[in-house]
Structures are given as C-alpha cells and as structure tokens.
Amino acid sequence: MNSENFTLSEKIVLPSYIRQGSQARRSHEQLIRLLLEQGKCPEEGWSESTIELFLNELAVMDSNNFLGNCGVGEREGRVASSLVARRHYRLIHGIGRSGDIAAIQPKAAGSSLLNKLTNSVVLDILKIAGVRSVASCFVVPMATGMSLTLCFLTLRHRRPKARYIIWPRIDQKSCFKSMITAGFEPVVVENALEGDELRTDLEAVERKIEELGAENILCVHSTTSCFAPRVPDRIEELAAMCAKYNIPHIVNNAYGVQSSKCMHLIQQGARVGRIDAFVQSLDKNFMVPVGGAIIAGFDEPFVQEISKMYPGRASASPSLDVLITLLTLGAKGYKKLLSERKELYSFLAQELKSLASAHKERLLHTPHNPISLAMSLDCLQAESDKAVTQLGSMLFTRQVSGARVVPLGNEQTISGHTFRGFMSHSESYPWPYLNAASAVGITREDVALCIKRLDRCLKTLKKEQNGAESITRELIFNPAPCLCMSDVCLSLFTLSPLLSRLSH
C-alpha cells in the first residue's frame, strides 16, 4: 500500500500499529531495492512472502493486468483458464520481442524486469560458482541441446564456409544431435584411455583441425560434466588450441555449474585461450523443472548476437522458476547445496567402494570426474552375459533412479553415424560398469538407499545364476525397455531371447 493508504488505515487501526506494519513493509521493499540496484542474487534467501509480493508487483506492471486496458491486438496476454493465470502469477507475456529474446516489451514492463533481473542474478551465480570473468549470459527456454544448436546457428553467420564441428566423443544423444540439427557434420574424436579414465585426445583433435583446415571448422564443441569413467575435457588445452587456430569454442557445461572443478576449467580456459560460449542446463544445476538453459560467454556482443538469433519471444516459465529458486535459496543457500553435494560425492564414492569390494568389483579410479562415479561389473558379467542388463532392470523396478548400467558391446547409429561401445564414450572400454552420480540436491538417504538396494540386487543376481527363472519372471512382468533411465540410453531392451529360452 502507498503512504496515502497507510494514513487512511491509521483511522481504522491504531496509528502505532499501522506504522509498525508500514515499517515491516519497508523491510520487504528494502530487499527488492537491493535486488534492483545490484542485480545480484541476495546473500540470504527471501521468504516466500517477499517473493510473492515481488511477483505480484511485477504482474501488475504488465498490460494484461491493467485495470483499464483495452486490447485490440493479436496478442494481448489474455488467459482463458484461471488455473493457468495463477500458476504463472499472471505474468503472461513471456520474454523478449521478435527481435531479441533479451529485449524489453512495451506491453509488459513487469515481465521485462523479470527477464532482465533473472539474467543478471544468474550471471552473478555463475561468477560465484567459479567463472568470475563471465561477461554476459541469458536464460533461454530450451534445454541444453537446442541451446547448443542456437550457438552453432549463430556461428554459421560468422563462418559461412565452415561445415565441421570437432567433438571429443561423449555418448549423450542430444549433444550429438545439437550439431546435426544445426546442419553441421560432427567430427567425432575418440577419447584416450588413461588408467580407468577416458580423457580428451588432444593430439587427435589437433590432427583433425589440420586435416580439415581451420576455416572449414565451425567450432570445437567440448564437454565438462559427463558420466564416469569419461572425465571433463581438457578445456584449458582445447581453449588454447582454439585460440591458436582461431577457431570458436563452445563448451557444453550441462550440469557443471554445480561443480567448482568444471567451473574452474571454464574460467581457466577463457583466461589462457578461447571460449566463445558455454551452455548449462537450468534443471540439472538449479533444481527447477526441465526446459531451460543458460547461454553464457566472455564477450558481451557475441552473447547478444546469440540472443538476437532466437526468432520471436519465448516462455518466461524457466526464467521465473530459476528466479524464484535463487531468491528462495539466496547465494548462501545455493553455496550450501553445492558444498553438501561435494560431501555426498565423497560419501557415495566411499560407499560404492565398500560395496564393490564386497562383490569383488571395484570403484573405477576417475579422480578427474567430480560428479559421476563408476563401479565395475566385471564379475557380474562373468557369471552371465545377461546379468548386467538384468541389474539395470531390477534397479528400475526398485525405484533406484539414475543408476545406469553400461554393458559392453552396445552399438548405436544416430543420424547415420555409428557409435560402437555406445554409452561408454569409447569404442572399446574394457569393463562393463554401473554409474552413480552425486548431483545437486542429493541426500544422504538417497545414497544409503541406493547402496542398500544395489547390494540386494547383486546378491539376488548371484543366487539366481543357477536357476534364472525368478529374475526372468520379473523381467516378463516388468519388461522395462530401458535399463538405465538415463538420457543416453537408446536401446530398447528386448525380452525375446530370454522369453524364448524360458519357453524351452
């Protein structure tokens, strides 16, 4: 309420009480002031009431909520369902204009503020998370893959002749498709096996550059966060190489914001070499619903160029989600989540190690991967060639999600390119294994339950090797087509061999 209304209220309720109420209101306003002034994520999280007050304030600034508005355009922010209006806090106009997803909208001052502030708060968080020299970023309502596509499409205008993208192999389908969709030819560079780890083969990358000619290469497309035993690419060296050959460099930092190591790689890469843009998922890093990404870079004009490449306006929903989330957590809360994640990574590693040794397997040694771990399934495989895939299915039906088994010898063809050893980031990784990750928001209970159930599954599988009926029965009853519930899984598991064996 404005001061006039507070004064009127003093005639109804005792002035001293109203005055205290109005002071209380000022403390909310003060938080909003700091946000507007500094454009940073507040150190302390806001209460739900401050957040909702703020969102309501933004909403009343949009023309669809003007009490006296009359609309005769083709897009007036009208909403047919009040359920829908409410869930969007009546912010209906989305973000951006036809020219630019970061542009402000005349009809929607509130949504425009939301958009600007979100980008600004997110930029602050990227700095806090470790990329201190990031210059600009924006939230885009598309997941990581499509956001990478947008980066590639933008680069096309700078490098009209280029046809190839150099890509150190990572077996994640949408990464590969992001290049195909943009119309480029991915040049897959196999990883080098170093101990248990799969790492960037820098020499192979350089060979490819020289072979194809720098001017024919749109960019190098590297990756930080990934499933063990692959580890983050050698971003520093790649960035230096890109600088040397004058080739753009796009980093897929999908869920790397949550890891100080991944962020450090990017920071260092930009310092010593060239990184044009790095892309990260909103949902994987900030615990919001799927569907948004952050495109960030060290050169503001290039980031703007990307934002201007998005034709038309876009959903404000991912921006709203991440803004609410970061205001709720505060910088402090987000940092706390990150440090908890780190601790639970150690806990998970330790628990997996114990479990592995109990089952005569081992935790693969992948010290460069700060998020994902892998435990060999060598013995399991030795007992039966189906046991590895059975394990995946069993975990699925036991509500262990995200624990992905990687058997040997998968083969997968995507858009004409055949990947041997698919899912393992390598044509011939020596062991089958199981992945588990410590991602932001994981709890100690998640780890404990997972280890417990995994243990039981492994025991059951061993017992069953003589008489496989009961597992088979489970598979028949639950013909889980997907063994891993992970993004990278493409193969539908068919039961037919098992079934036919059973019928004999």
Phi then psi for residue 486, to 5 deg, are -115, 160
466 vs 496 by CB, closer to its own copies: 496
Q: Please tell me whether residue 442 binds its own copies under the rule CB under 8 A.
A: yes
Of 317-336, which residues contact its own copies (CB under 8 A)?
A: 317-318, 321, 324-325, 328-329
Of 145 and 273, the one with the shorter C-beta distance to its own copies is 145
Q: Does 229 sit behind a cis peptide bond, omega within 30 degrees of 0 on the bond before it? A: yes
**75 assigned binding-site residue:** yes
Q: Is 97 annotated as a binding residue?
A: yes
| Angstrom distance (rounded) from CA 186 to CA 221 | 9
Check whether 222 is labelled as a binding-site residue: no
Distance, CA of 476 to CA of 469 (rounded, Å): 10
Contact status, residue 384 vs residue 465, Cβ threshold 8 Å: yes
User: From the list 40, 42, 63, 257, which residue makes contact with its own copies (rule: CB under 8 A)?
Assistant: 63
- Between CA 423 and CA 170 the distance in angstroms is 8
Task: Write b or e for each residue in 338-376: b if 16 or more Cβ atoms lie within 10 A of its Cβ, otherwise e.
Answer: bebbbebbebbbebbeebbeebebbbbebebbbbbbbbb
Residue 370 touches its own copies, criterion: CB under 8 A: no
Taking CB under 8 A as the criterion, the residue among 118, 136, 144, 280 binding its own copies is 144
195 interacts with its own copies by CB under 8 A: no
> In 3-state terms, what secondary structure has residue 91?
coil
Question: Does the protein bind its own copies through residue 57 (CB under 8 A)?
Answer: yes
Q: Contact between 265 and its own copies (CB under 8 A)?
A: no
Q: Which is nearer to its own copies, 388 or 442 (CB)?
A: 442
Among 42, 102, 116, 165, interactor with its own copies by CB under 8 A = 116
Question: According to the binding rule CB under 8 A, does residue 81 interact with its own copies?
Answer: yes
CB of 336 to its own copies, least distance (A): 11
Helix (H) or strand (E) holding 262: helix 260-272
Q: Return left, alpha or beta for 399; rule: phi > 0 is left, psi -120 to 50 is alpha, else beta.
A: left
**15 forms part of the interface with its own copies (CB under 8 A):** yes
Question: Looking at 316, 406, 458, 471, which residue binds its own copies (CB under 8 A)?
Answer: 316
The reply on whether position 260 binds its own copies by CB under 8 A is no
Instruction: Check binding of 37 to its own copies (CB under 8 A).
Output: yes
Window contacting its own copies (CB under 8 A); options: 77-85, 193-201, 243-251, 362-370: 77-85
The letter for the amino acid at 105 is Q
Examine residue 299 and tell whether it contacts its own copies (CB under 8 A). Answer: no
Alpha carbons 433 and 466: distance in angstroms, whole number: 23
Q: Could you give the C-alpha distances from 176 to 252, 253, 415, in angstroms and in order?
A: 11, 14, 9
In the bound state with its own copies, the residue whose beta carbon lies nearer, of 107 and 425, is: 107
Asked if 166 interacts with its own copies (CB under 8 A), we say no
Draw the binding track, 378-407, toward its own copies (x: CB under 8 A; -: no contact): ------------------xx-xxxxxx---
Q: Three-class SS of residue 248?
A: coil
Nearest alpha carbon to residue 252 among 221, 227, 220: 221
Pick the closer one to its own copies by CB: 270 or 395.
395
From the CB of 366, what's the least distance to its own copies, in Å?
Answer: 15
- According to CB under 8 A, which residues from 449 to 488 bind its own copies? 449-450, 453, 478-482, 485-488
Q: DSSP class of residue 466?
A: S
Q: Which of 138, 310, 419, 431 binds its own copies (CB under 8 A)?
A: 310
Q: Which residues pair with 419 in a beta bridge?
A: 412
Which sign, positive or negative, has the C-alpha torsion 166, 169, 175, 181?
Answer: positive
DSSP 288-307: --SS-EEEEES-HHHHHHHH
Instruction: Choose the binding region for its own copies from 170-178, 243-251, 358-366, 465-473 (rule: CB under 8 A).
Output: 170-178
Binding residue per annotation — 98?
A: yes
Q: Is 340 in the site for its own copies (CB under 8 A)?
A: no
| 313 is an annotated ligand-binding site residue | yes
The dihedral sign for the CA sequence 205, 209, 212, 215: positive
Pick the binder of its own copies from 102, 126, 137, 142 (CB under 8 A): 142
User: Residues at the annotated binding site for tRNA?
Assistant: 271, 398, 463
User: Residues at the annotated binding site?
Assistant: 75, 97-98, 105, 271, 313, 398, 463
